[in-house]
């Protein structure tokens, strides 16, 4: 290459504004993996395809690098700030090191776009955009040149909105091509269509979606349609560009599976070639009489015709009168279906699919055909409830929907339509923040209770100080985490790349709702929901020592051996202590308020009000007394006394029986019998019967109040009968005087009740706080770290559960059988795990198992929303939480009376795990799978327990009409046999568990490490299995439908959201270990080129 050295020197000294990019870099030449010299700092200036290297900003250029026939290799490490510039000529590579990661990425982009090939791509893109603009009609051009007065009045361009039903996608259409022309006569085309959008105001081309690849035909009919969600800004003036490509090699078709800027066109030599393109206005399609457009495909210069594209408007819903056209399965003779207009159905919000599979699908087909269990949720709205009524409450929890549209042939050569939708949820952050806030309040109360223990012996006092210091540190950590989450803005989901971030460790990984909405020609519309989420686990803390299942067992064993330092209490006793403290904090203010209401009723001389107030006071006081009827409180009081300075023990007395205690409560009702006790003595003999007397005094004082109210009401009734014929004015005076007497006679008794209750509360709080002190002291700091880890895992699991419950409730409001089951039995929640039992994933599985088991502590309550804020409210403490789900008034009225009255709804979570990746192969051959086997066996027993409860409490007719109890028994027995068989990668366990869950109206979850790759394979496989088994998907199209969903469906979009690349994170060697139907189509996996 010839060049003028003087001109280059002058160009290098031009002002900074003349250069595309400049800055300091460390540079050296590299041969192979070895640097010829150490990198030296240079001032680098980039202009076009010339890179000038200078010693400093003011010196002359010492070297010029011409950026042609070269490419950039960028390292993927988060900490690496270097790139390599490789040359096709064979000259040594150029090593470039930046000061920071962002600077390195910026240089990589600038150098990659600097060559003439990038310029040619930009020119080609501009030419195509100019061609599209020239196609605008003269009327449209005239409309742009309005008088200035009209322009000022308009402000912004006004576009015509597309009329649609609320909550339905704005636009959906299907595509097919005819008469495509190949470059060579004998070439069999493998084509797909790329869909791009040109917004009428910006005239910028935005890549939107693609169809699947149809092989071996010049008349391809594409099963993947195009759908625009309700929030998408599309108008009648919007233009849609359809570009047809011929794929030469699917494994090299990386452009469709990697991220490119919208303004860049792909190179033609990366596995595909351009055939032709066509553009249409959305308004032309919507207003067309037949709701169909036939467009001519032309080459990039607009001259040569290479075929036609047929675009058909699609509306999900019921078919109009008339049969659908029959189809053939021959790829060469595919017949394009003209979709008829459909009535839309208002059945709910988004869509998500199921998550399941089976390694032996072919072998299981005949058996499942015999069982014929239609897992269908009918898509009809209850009378009086429209789709709009669902919107406010669902929009509060679901965000950023992604929609996909398919059409698949049935076994009788008809068409069915499938809408696949996916959405993230605001609950990913809302639930953890609410939960952390509860943890902070609970821990602050505990710390204060420890401080209120009073004076302790030096050993115990030092122990208390150490515990409080550690607890304060943990409390500070929770507060910092909550503050960081409060600063979070942007998307409402945590990507898989962020699973190791400390500030986000309470947030579930990649939590999404996915729904498959199926519309068949002969069956009712059906919805299939599943929640996909990364396995709840403490990724930031790591798994070097295993997960919660192992750590908790080890910790409990170590605690038993620390008795010389502190008093050992079993986990059951510490849980009981927390429950007693919770009951105290809940019941004491209620009793005080009811006692005040009783006095208020007495002052007003209202007999009816007095009776009601007394009834409420009696109920709450009985609950209060019952809460302390436990040996733990008595033994803890004694232990606390021994921890006081200078304690002396008296000979223990024989404790009275519970019958004697209850007899005292029933028959002793006079205030003079109550003897007030001093606080726990420090330096005197301890009487073990003292607690019994203090505790019994509450019941005795309540009996005194009841007896006094009875006497007052009796006197009132007798006086009314005697004074019935007396002077009315005199009677009124006596009533006023009696009102004062009532208050004066009840006041001292109520005060005595409050005093006795306060004394019990003080002693009980101190004794239970002492039990918690032992629990914490025996395992510092491991105890607090395990509590933190458990809180993290539980937070992730709870966010998913709340999302699943809310979606299930919304979609089943019309199902009275389900609602009866919900408040009578409870809700089954089935988790499918795909984790291996090898290395770190074994620790994740241990965390996940404990987190899901802890969900048994959660109860739900449905309440009527009093405002426009429909987000759920969380109350309670560790070991017991109540989730209050808010519904709008119209939806709340549809619930059974039991639920409307606030009945708590139980959850029954079960987990079944089968590892499917290459690490599971290592575990099965060289490691240990006992963890997986134990988890599956334990949860099978829980599932059987729920089934038995279901059959006992629910009438047989509450099962869907096409199901029988014998089917469930058979499925449970089959599941039991498969778990006992201990076959390698027996994914049939997953299918059976999922089937049982759907038959029992349960909520489905699918989890792997990040809910991105293995979860996607499982979800799409179950979708296609359901379509085949329940909706008669043509057997010849099963694999093609599976590839469609994996290549162009919601799950590949989920991968893009997480890693900014449309590629599943598998390689060929890994996939060899996967079950056959869990392998993605060629070209959709490999190393991610972000």
Given a cut of 60, whether residue 680 has pLDDT beyond it is: no
Given a cut of 70, whether residue 336 has pLDDT beyond it is: no
Beta strand pairing status for 648-649 and 685-686? parallel
Which residues pair with residue 352 across a beta bridge? 515
Query: Is the model more confident about 376 or about 475?
Result: 475
For residue 376, the model assigns a pLDDT of: 33
Between CA 89 and CA 87 the distance in angstroms is 5
What's the pLDDT tens digit per position in 635-679?
888 888 888 887 655 444 333 333 333 444 344 443 333 333 333
Between CA 594 and CA 566 the distance in angstroms is 41
What's the pLDDT tens digit per position in 539-588?
999 999 999 999 999 988 887 776 556 788 888 888 888 888 888 888 88
DSSP designation for 1035: G
Stretch 20-48: mean pLDDT, rounded?
Answer: 86
Between CA 228 and CA 168 the distance in angstroms is 9
Given a cut of 80, whether residue 126 has pLDDT beyond it is: no
CA atoms within 13 A on the CB side of 62: 13
Between CA 806 and CA 354 the distance in angstroms is 17
Q: 245 with 274: CB under 8 angstroms? A: yes
**Can you tell me whether residue 785 is helix, strand or coil?**
helix
Could you identify the residue written with the tokens 């501009």?
Answer: 126
For residue 663, the model assigns a pLDDT of: 42
Stretch 1048-1074: mean pLDDT, rounded?
Answer: 92
Angle at 814 between CA 813 and CA 818, to 5 degrees: 70
DSSP designation for 724: T
For residue 337, the model assigns a pLDDT of: 31
Closest CA to 131 of 276, 251, 309: 276
727 pLDDT band, cuts 50/70/90, is low
Between CA 470 and CA 787 the distance in angstroms is 12
985 CB-near residues (< 8 Å, 6+ apart): 359, 914, 915, 916, 920, 921, 924, 1075
The percent of the chain in helix, strand and coil, each rounded to the nearest 5, is 45, 20, 35
Given a cut of 50, whether residue 922 has pLDDT beyond it is: yes
pLDDT above 70 as % of the chain:
79
**Can you tell me whether residue 72 is helix, strand or coil?**
strand
Q: How many residues does the chain have?
A: 1090
DSSP designation for 439: H
Return left, alpha or beta for 490; rule: phi > 0 is left, psi -120 to 50 is alpha, else beta.
left
Which of the residues are catalytic? 1008
1043 pLDDT band, cuts 50/70/90, is very high
Between CA 106 and CA 112 the distance in angstroms is 10
Q: For 945-961, what is the HEC assignment?
A: HHHHHHHHHCCHHHCCC
Could you identify the residue written with the tokens 């109520």?
Answer: 750
For residue 2, the model assigns a pLDDT of: 58
Closest CA to 97 of 24, 22, 47: 24
**Can you tell me whether residue 120 is helix, strand or coil?**
helix
Q: Which pair of structure tokens corresponds to residue 230? A: 């309700």
For residue 6, the model assigns a pLDDT of: 80
Stretch 1060-1075: mean pLDDT, rounded?
Answer: 92
For residue 734, the model assigns a pLDDT of: 43
Between CA 812 and CA 787 the distance in angstroms is 36
For residue 1038, the model assigns a pLDDT of: 93
What's the pLDDT tens digit per position in 4-20?
788 888 888 888 888 88
Return left, alpha or beta for 985; rule: phi > 0 is left, psi -120 to 50 is alpha, else beta.
left
Q: 864 with 889: CB under 8 angstroms? A: yes
Please name the residue ranges forming H helices in 397-522: 427-451, 458-486
Query: Is the model more confident about 847 or about 705?
Result: 847
**CA 436 distance to own-chain centroid:** 17
Between CA 49 and CA 65 the distance in angstroms is 8
**Can you tell me whether residue 147 is helix, strand or coil?**
coil
Query: Is the model more confident about 721 or about 759?
Result: 759
φ, ψ for residue 812, nearest 5 deg? -120, 20
CB atoms closer than 10 angstroms to residue 110: 15
Cis peptide, bond prior to residue 177, ω within 30 of zero:
no
Given a cut of 60, whether residue 451 has pLDDT beyond it is: yes
Q: 503 with 481: CB under 8 angstroms? A: yes
Given a cut of 60, whether residue 723 has pLDDT beyond it is: no
**CA 148 distance to own-chain centroid:** 52
Given a cut of 70, whether residue 408 has pLDDT beyond it is: yes
What's the pLDDT tens digit per position in 589-605?
888 898 899 888 888 88
The pTM assigned to this predicted structure is: 0.74
Mean pLDDT score across all residues of the chain: 80
163 pLDDT band, cuts 50/70/90, is low
The separation between the first and the last C-alpha atoms of the chain, rounded to the nearest angstrom, is: 34
**Can you tell me whether residue 213 is helix, strand or coil?**
coil
263 pLDDT band, cuts 50/70/90, is very low
Q: For 991-1038, what is the HEC assignment?
A: HHHHHHHHHCCCEEEEECCCCCCHHHHHHHHHHHHHHHHHHCECHHHH
φ, ψ for residue 237, nearest 5 deg? -80, -10
For residue 904, the model assigns a pLDDT of: 95
Whole-number CA gyration radius for the chain: 36
236 exposure class (CB count in 10 Å sphere: 0-12, 13-18, 19+)? middle
Q: Of the ranges 223-237, 499-513, 633-647, which is most confident? A: 499-513
Torsion of CA 344, 350, 356, 362, to 10 degrees: 20
115 CB-near residues (< 8 Å, 6+ apart): 49, 67, 68, 69, 70
Q: 439 with 464: CB under 8 angstroms? A: no
CB atoms closer than 10 angstroms to residue 477: 13
CB atoms closer than 10 angstroms to residue 116: 12
Stretch 781-810: mean pLDDT, rounded?
Answer: 95
Q: 250 with 1083: CB under 8 angstroms? A: yes
DSSP designation for 33: T
Between CA 515 and CA 524 the distance in angstroms is 16
């Amino acid at each position: 290459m010839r060049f003028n050295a003087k001109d280059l020197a002058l160009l290098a000294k031009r002002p900074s504004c003349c250069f595309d990019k400049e800055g300091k870099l460390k540079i050296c030449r590299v041969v192979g993996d070895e640097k010829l010299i150490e990198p030296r700092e240079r001032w680098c200036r980039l202009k076009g395809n010339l890179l000038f290297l200078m010693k400093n900003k003011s010196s002359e250029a010492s070297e010029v690098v011409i950026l042609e026939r070269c490419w950039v290799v960028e390292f993927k490490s988060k900490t690496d700030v270097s790139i390599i510039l490789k040359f096709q000529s064979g000259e040594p590579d150029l090593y470039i090191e930046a000061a920071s990661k962002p600077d390195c990425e910026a240089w990589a982009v600038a150098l990659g776009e600097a060559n003439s090939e990038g310029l040619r791509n930009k020119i080609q893109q501009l030419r195509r955009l100019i061609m599209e603009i020239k196609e605008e009609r003269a009327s449209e051009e005239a409309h742009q040149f309005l008088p200035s007065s009209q322009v000022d009045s308009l402000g912004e361009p006004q576009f015509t909105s597309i009329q649609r039903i609320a909550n339905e996608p704005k636009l959906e259409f299907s595509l097919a091509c005819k008469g495509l022309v190949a470059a060579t006569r004998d070439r069999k085309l493998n084509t797909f269509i790329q869909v791009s959008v040109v917004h009428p105001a910006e005239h910028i081309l935005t890549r939107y979606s693609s169809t699947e690849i149809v092989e071996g035909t010049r008349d391809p009919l594409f099963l993947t349609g195009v759908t625009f969600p309700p929030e998408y800004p599309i108008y009648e003036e919007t233009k849609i560009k359809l570009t047809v490509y011929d794929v030469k090699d699917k494994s090299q078709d990386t452009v469709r599976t990697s991220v490119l800027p919208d303004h860049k066109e792909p190179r033609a030599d990366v596995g595909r070639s351009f055939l032709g393109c066509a553009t249409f206005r959305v308004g032309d399609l919507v207003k067309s009489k037949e709701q169909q457009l036939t467009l001519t495909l032309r080459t990039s210069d607009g001259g040569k015709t290479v075929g036609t594209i047929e675009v058909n408007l699609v509306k999900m819903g019921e078919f109009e009168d008339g049969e659908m056209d029959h189809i053939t399965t021959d790829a060469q003779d595919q017949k394009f279906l003209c979709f008829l207009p459909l009535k839309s159905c208002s059945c709910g919000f988004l869509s998500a699919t199921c998550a399941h599979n089976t390694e032996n699908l072919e072998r299981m087909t005949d058996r499942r055909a015999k069982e014929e269990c239609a897992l269908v949720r009918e898509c009809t709205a209850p009378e009086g409830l429209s789709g709009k009524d669902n919107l406010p409450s669902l929009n509060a929890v679901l965000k950023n929907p992604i929609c996909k549209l398919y059409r698949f042939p049935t076994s009788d050569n008809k068409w069915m339509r499938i809408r696949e939708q996916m959405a993230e949820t605001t609950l990913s952050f809302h639930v953890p923040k609410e939960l952390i806030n509860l943890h902070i309040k609970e821990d602050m109360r505990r710390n204060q209770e420890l401080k209120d223990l009073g004076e302790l012996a030096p050993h115990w006092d030092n122990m208390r100080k150490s515990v409080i210091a550690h607890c304060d540190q943990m409390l500070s950590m929770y507060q910092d985490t909550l503050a960081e989450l409060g600063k979070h803005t942007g998307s409402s989901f945590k990507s898989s790349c962020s699973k190791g971030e400390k500030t986000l460790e309470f947030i579930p990984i990649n939590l999404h709702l996915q729904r498959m909405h199926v519309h068949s020609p002969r069956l009712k519309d059906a919805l299939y929901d599943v929640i996909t989420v990364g396995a709840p686990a403490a990724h930031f803390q790591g798994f070097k020592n295993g997960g919660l299942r192992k750590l908790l067992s080890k910790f409990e064993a170590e605690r038993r051996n620390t008795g010389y330092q502190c008093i050992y209490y079993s986990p059951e006793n510490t849980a009981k202590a927390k429950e007693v403290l919770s009951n105290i904090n809940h019941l004491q203010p209620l009793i005080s308020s009811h006692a005040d209401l009783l006095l208020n009723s007495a002052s007003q001389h209202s007999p009816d009000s007095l009776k009601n107030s007394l009834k409420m006071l009696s109920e709450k006081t009985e609950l209060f007394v019952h809460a302390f009827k436990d040996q733990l409180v008595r033994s803890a009081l004694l232990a606390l006394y021994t921890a006081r300075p200078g304690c002396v023990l008296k000979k223990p007395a024989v404790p009275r029986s519970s019958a004697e205690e209850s007899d005292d409560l029933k028959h002793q009702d006079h205030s003079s019998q109550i003897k007030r006790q001093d606080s726990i003595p420090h330096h005197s003999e301890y009487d073990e019967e003292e607690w019994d007397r203090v505790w019994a005094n509450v019941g005795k004082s309540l009996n005194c109040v009841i007896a006094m109210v009875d006497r007052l009401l009796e006197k009132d009734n007798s006086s009314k009968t005697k004074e019935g014929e007396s002077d009315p004015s005199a009677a009124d005076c006596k009533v006023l005087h009696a009102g004062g007497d009532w208050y004066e006679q009840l006041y001292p008794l109520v005060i005595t009740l409050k005093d006795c209750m306060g004394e019990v509360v003080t002693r009980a709080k101190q004794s239970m706080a002492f039990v918690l002190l032992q629990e914490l002291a025996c395992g510092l700091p491991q105890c607090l770290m395990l509590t933190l880890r458990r809180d993290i895992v539980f937070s992730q699991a709870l966010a998913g559960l709340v999302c699943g419950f809310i979606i299930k409730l919304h979609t089943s409001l019309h199902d009275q059988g389900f609602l009866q089951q919900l408040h009578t039995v409870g809700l089954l929640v089935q988790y499918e795990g795909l984790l291996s039992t090898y290395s770190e994933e074994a620790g994740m599985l241990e965390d996940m198992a404990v987190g899901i088991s802890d969900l048994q502590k959660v109860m739900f309550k449905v309440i009527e929303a009093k405002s426009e804020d429909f987000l759920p409210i969380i109350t309670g403490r560790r070991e017991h939480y109540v989730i209050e789900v808010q519904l709008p008034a119209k939806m709340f009225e549809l619930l059974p009376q039991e639920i409307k009255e606030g009945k708590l709804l139980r959850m029954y979570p079960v987990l079944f795990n089968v590892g499917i990746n290459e690490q599971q192969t290592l575990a099965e051959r060289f490691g240990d799978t006992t963890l997986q086997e134990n988890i599956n066996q334990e949860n099978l027993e829980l599932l059987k327990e729920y089934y038995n409860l279901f059959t006992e409490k629910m009438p047989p007719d509450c099962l869907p009409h096409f199901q029988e109890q014998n089917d469930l028994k058979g499925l449970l027995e089959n599941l039991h046999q498969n778990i006992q068989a201990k076959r390698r990668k027996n994914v049939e366990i997953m299918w059976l568990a999922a089937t049982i869950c759907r038959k029992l109206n349960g909520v489905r979850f699918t989890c792997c490490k990040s809910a991105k790759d293995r979860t996607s394979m499982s979800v799409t496989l179950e979708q296609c299995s359901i379509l085949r088994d329940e909706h008669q998907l043509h057997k010849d199209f099963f694999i093609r439908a599976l590839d469609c969903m994996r290549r162009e469906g919601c799950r590949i979009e989920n991968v893009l959201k997480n890693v900014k690349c449309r590629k599943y994170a598998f390689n060929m060697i890994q996939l060899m270990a996967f079950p056959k139907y869990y392998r993605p189509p060629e070209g959709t996996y490999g190393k991610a080129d972000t």
